Amino acid sequence: MKKLAVIFIVLIQILFASNLPEPDLDIFFDENATNKQIDAGLDQILDFLSQNPHRVNDEFGEFNDRLFSPFIYNLKIIKTGKFDFERIKKALKFKPDLNYKFMIFTPIDTVIALGINSDGKYKFDQKETIRLIDLLVANGADIGSPELLRTACNVEAFEIFSHLLSKGARGDKDVMLCVAGGIAIFMGQNGASPIANAPLDPKIRQFAKTSKFTEFYRDKMRYLEELLKFEPLSEFEAKELEVFTKLSAILDSEDMVKFLLKNGVCRQENLQTSCENLKKYATHYEAKESQKLINEVR
């Protein structure tokens, strides 16, 4: 009898829930929306789900979004940098699939990406974001998304990056490009863009020896050094390794060449192509310090 009663209740909910208005997701993207309006919109979703739990993974609105997304992405979060854990936990009780794509991001990707500031830095409290990531993972979110580490690197969220690795996130894709690209952009912002013209602008190597550059370089290289605790350099994308070796030659950077050599370039058989590229670019750009280091390995 109890089983029949449960089935009857579920059927009643399905039959009569269609009379309830569907949540309007536009309010969460409205720049003029108040925090009170966003809170009311989230509560409306929770009320809707309480009557329509079977629709938790339905798609709504112009972007075919799901009802869980506003709990981790809305204008209130962007303005305050705070996540509403109380409402998020209530939404998770309806057991939403947490591996769908919101525009181009999964929910965990979104949590990381929306924290980027106008200066490209992560503006949220990384510990709070880590807390939310762990909550999502505990409720079924896949930490294996190939975009996760790259996104954390791009927004300069090292604590999140390190935590993702410790939880099992893998995939070197684009992390080395994130580091090399970040270095190149930083140099361009300081009037020393490492454009590979011949002859090279003397300002490129002059700036690469300044304390300002060294401080930035060390901050960016943390991401590769942390990743290498879990994945060998030999598993990195060949094209990314080539970009990095080329940049090291353009800058004639002892630190970058030492990093490559220390991690097996010119010693491991499956990295011989990268070794040849390093030699080629060092010769082409007359990187004397780099050539000296490479010759010492022979």
Domain boundary, last residue among 170, 191, 216: 170
Residue 83 lies inside a defined structural domain of this protein: no
Q: Kindly state whether residues 179 and 156 are assigned to the same domain.
A: no
Q: Rounded CA gap, 67 and 107, in Å?
A: 12
Tell me: do 243 and 178 sit in the same domain: yes
Give dist(CA 79, CA 77) in Å, integer.
5
Q: Does 267 reside within a domain?
A: yes
Residue 187 inside a domain? The answer is: yes
Q: Is residue 82 part of a domain?
A: no
Q: Provide the token pair at 9.
A: 């209740």
Q: Is 89 among the domain residues?
A: no
Please provide the average confidence, as pLDDT, over all residues in the chain. 89
Q: At what angle do helices 175-189 and 211-227 cross, to 10 degrees?
A: 170
Of 77, 106, 130, the one marking the end of a domain is: 77
Residues 176 and 246 occupy one common structural domain: yes
Position 27 scores a pLDDT of 92
- Mean pLDDT across 263-271: 92
- Could you tell me if 118 and 160 lie in one domain? yes
For residue 296, being part of any structural domain is answered with yes
Domain range for residue 14? 1-77
188 and 266 inside one domain: yes
**Contact assessment for residue 56 and residue 67, using Cβ atoms and an 8 Å cutoff:** yes
User: What's the pLDDT at 172?
Assistant: 67
Backbone angles phi, psi at 69, to 5 degrees: -55, -45
Same-domain status, 268 and 198: yes
pTM given for the model: 0.86
Pairwise CA distance, residues 159 & 231, whole Å:
18
Q: Are residues 225 and 285 in the same domain?
A: yes
For 29-73, how does the pLDDT look when each residue is reduced to its tens digit (9 = 90+)? 899 999 999 999 999 999 999 999 999 999 987 777 899 999 999
The secondary structure of the chain, three-state, reads CHHHHHHHHHHHHHHHHCCCCCCCHHHHHCCCCCHHHHHHHHHHHHHHHHHCHHHCCCCECCCCECCCHHHCCCHHHHHHCCCCHHHHHHHHCCCCCCCCCECCECHHHHHHHCCECCCCCECCCHHHHHHHHHHHHHCCCCCCCCHHHHHHHHCCCHHHHHHHHHCCCCCCCCHHHHHHHHHHHHHHHCCCCCCCCCCCCHHHHHHHCCHHHHHHHHHHHHHHHHHCCCCCHHHCCHHHHHHHHHHHHHHCCHHHHHHHHHCCCCCCHHHHHHHHHHHHHHHHCCCHHHHHHHHHHC
Q: Are residues 114 and 193 in the same domain?
A: no
- Are 188 and 220 in the same domain? yes
Q: What is the pLDDT of residues 157-216, one digit of tens each?
A: 999 999 999 999 887 678 999 999 999 999 999 999 987 666 788 999 999 999 999 999
Note whether 179 and 111 are same-domain residues.
no
User: How many domains, in total, are found in the chain?
Assistant: 3
CA atoms of 261 and 255, how far apart (whole Å):
10
pLDDT tens digits, 75-99: 999 888 899 999 999 999 999 999 9
Is 2 inside a domain boundary?
yes
Please state, in angstroms and rounded to a whole number, the distance separating the CA atoms of residues 71 and 74.
Answer: 7
The answer to whether position 64 is within a domain reads yes
Does position 2 have pLDDT exceeding 90, yes or no?
Answer: no
Choosing from 22, 47, 77, the residue where a domain stops is 77
Same domain, 270 and 289: yes
Is residue 16 pLDDT above 50, yes or no?
A: no
60 phi, psi to nearest 5 deg: -135, 160
Instruction: Note whether 198 and 153 are same-domain residues.
Output: no
Q: Mind listing the pLDDT tens digit for each residue in 150-163? A: 989 988 999 999 99
